[in-house]
Amino acid sequence: MAPAVSPFLDPGASSSAHSLGILQLKRDHLIPTVLSDASSTEYAEGNVVNTRFGSFTHSSLIGKPWGTQILASVVDTGSRGGRSKKRKREANGEGNAAEDASRSEEPVRSVVKAATTASSGFAHLVPPTPETWTLCLPHRTQVVYTPDYSFIIQKMRLRPGDHIIEAGAGSGSFTHAVARTVFNGYPGLEQPEEKDEQEVNGTTSRKRRRRQQRHGHVYSFEYHKPRAEQLREELVSHGLDPLVTVTNRDVYADGFCVDAENENAPNADVIFLDLPAPWLALKHLTRSPPPPAVVKSIASDTAEPPTTTSAPRPPKPFRSPLNPKTTTRICTFSPCIEQVQKTVAAMRSYGWLDIEMFTMEHKRLEVRRERVGLAEEGLRGANPSPATVQEAVQRLRDVEDRAKVFHGLQKEKQEQIMRRAEAKKRGEQAPAGEGEADGLKKKTEGLPPSKHDRLERAKKESESRALFREGRLVCRTEPEIKTHTSYLVFAMLPVEWTAEDEEKARRKWG
Ligand SMILES: C[S@@+](CC[C@H](N)C(=O)[O-])C[C@H]1O[C@@H](n2cnc3c(N)ncnc32)[C@H](O)[C@@H]1O
């Protein structure tokens, strides 16, 4: 059942049972999990997320403010191994009656055992957002990453209340991001906010007026049936299904109206095409039926066969999926420049204007404090090499001074051993030497501290230092980032200038 408000839109202050939470192990390593306080047949401690940084029981994750550092728990994962082997045998048809009987006798745990905190291992519990979801979603295809979709959404001026067409939906990374952007209330539950809007279509009145805004909606199209079904399931479990209509459709052949009769048009303000041949879909994104000769010439330019295997269908009556009252903004996402050339040529033929292309060369800037110097020895996140020539020379002198004393002591010790051996040979009593510990203490007095002493001192001193604001502020670019680099083509299709508009203008301007 869908939650009242999707955690992607309003995660609240803390995590709750039956809702999605994301366990962040490292910056780019996140694990999504639907939290459940129910008992589990696998572990006495209830449901558990096992990671390379330890096991985390769901009970330790529920009811925690987002961002909390969660310590790993001690969980007996031994019994799980036995069970999974048993399941494997069962799956292979190797189970037997005795095993089945013993399984049925296994106690059903009704009480969840309290887990104890492990001695090491932690993770952070973060709320589900399109950004965190993009980093941990089950990959069914290449996905659009955050640096790309943040630019696309901004450039297409996507706003709450807009209707957007997206094809193909793939793994749903872009879908989640745009569902959040267009959200202005759930259809049927609440009215969208009214907004002030200038009447631009009317030629006489230029007054501002209050207009009832419609609910924002995402129309997602995906050719691959299992992908479309999986996305539908994900959207239901994330509470986003009222905002997104997923249609399993070959958009090259069948276009973008959402029901079979071509009746229900999305009335889209914005289009995003992440398809292998976006130019083949453009014929369906016009305001009036395109001339057949133009459609034919664009299709005949396609050297590679489109992804579709659908048999040709009889033509349906034309119905535009675009909002007739607003300028339509489009973005196509293509990995290579040849696809861009074909897309731009087709856009020109169908009347798209303001066509421009961008290439994404995103790099994340890493800003941090760099602490360098011998005083940092043994401390985390610092460079303990000498910061100046003086520090380096002083350290060399200290090492030499200590080495001299050490070698002197070694020599003395050897001489003492030889003296004792000679005295023994002569049958005399061995000469009484200075106590070894006393000798060492006397000789190392006034010497520079040993490594052990230095580390101890640095650790103690660090307690009274404000390390977070010490050191030089440095800014570096990351050498690599996980983004699907692409060419983005943007364009606009103005509203149609009708005979009625012409007449109005003629009347007004003569
Ligand atoms: C690169 S993936 C899209 C990834 C998606 N934008 C995301 O962020 O997760 C391209 C998708 O387009 C779909 N596709 C290809 N040809 C199509 C067509 N003719 N109609 C609809 N979808 C199509 C593919 O099945 C594939 O899932």
Q: Where are the domains of the chain?
A: 20-128, 134-309+318-362+485-509, 374-427+440-469
- Beta bridge partners of residue 487, listed in sequence order: 334, 359
**Torsion 182-165-348-345 (CA) sign:** positive
Structure tokens that stand for 161 in this block: 């209340």
User: 108 CA distance to ligand 1 centroid (A)?
Assistant: 44
User: 223 CA distance to ligand 1 centroid (A)?
Assistant: 7
More confident: 281 or 317: 281
What is the per-residue pLDDT for 404?
87
45: closest CA among 68, 31, 61? Answer: 61
pTM assigned to the model: 0.76
Mean pLDDT of 493-501: 91
User: 145 CA distance to ligand 1 centroid (A)?
Assistant: 15
Alpha-carbon distance of 274 to 318, in angstroms, equals 24
Q: Is the ipTM of this complex over 0.85?
A: yes
Mean pLDDT rounded to a whole number for the chain: 84
pLDDT tens-place string over residues 104-158: 444 555 666 777 888 889 999 999 999 999 999 999 999 999 989 999 999 999 9
Residue 335 to residues 165, 257, 388, 487, Cα–Cα distance (Å): 20, 27, 49, 6
Closest C-alpha residue for ligand 1 atom 18: 250
**Torsion 502-504-505-506 (CA) sign:** positive
% of residues, the chain, pLDDT over 90: 52
Structure tokens that stand for 215 in this block: 């609910």
- Return the best residue to mutate from 144, 149, 174, 224 for the ligand 1 pocket (most ligand atoms within 8 A of CB): 224
Name, of 28-37, 253-262, 486-495, the range with top average pLDDT. Answer: 486-495
Q: Which of 123-137, 333-347, 361-375, 379-393 has the lowest mean pLDDT?
A: 361-375
* Pocket lining for ligand 1, CB < 6 angstroms: 141-144, 167-174, 221-224, 227, 250-252, 274-276, 307-308
- Judge whether residue 261 has pLDDT over 80: no
Mean pLDDT of 4-11: 89
Q: Which atom of ligand 1 is nearest to the CA of 174?
A: 8
Q: Which atom of ligand 1 is nearest to the CA of 307?
A: 16
- Return the best residue to mutate from 307, 331, 332 for the ligand 1 pocket (most ligand atoms within 8 A of CB): 307
User: 21 CA distance to ligand 1 centroid (A)?
Assistant: 27
What is the per-residue pLDDT for 99?
46
User: 97 CA distance to ligand 1 centroid (A)?
Assistant: 47
More confident: 180 or 364: 180
What is the per-residue pLDDT for 449?
84
Residue 38 to residues 47, 70, 108, Cα–Cα distance (Å): 7, 19, 12
Closest C-alpha residue for ligand 1 atom 27: 170
User: 1 CA distance to ligand 1 centroid (A)?
Assistant: 27
284: closest CA among 307, 317, 311, 247? Answer: 317
Closest C-alpha residue for ligand 1 atom 13: 168
The domain covering 134-309+318-362+485-509 belongs, at the CATH homologous superfamily level, to: Vaccinia Virus protein VP39 (3.40.50.150)
Closest C-alpha residue for ligand 1 atom 3: 170
Q: Which atom of ligand 1 is nearest to the CA of 484?
A: 1
Question: At residue 338, what is the residue type?
Answer: E
Contact between 468 and 369 under an 8 Å Cβ cutoff? The reply is: yes
What is the per-residue pLDDT for 1?
45
What is the per-residue pLDDT for 126?
96
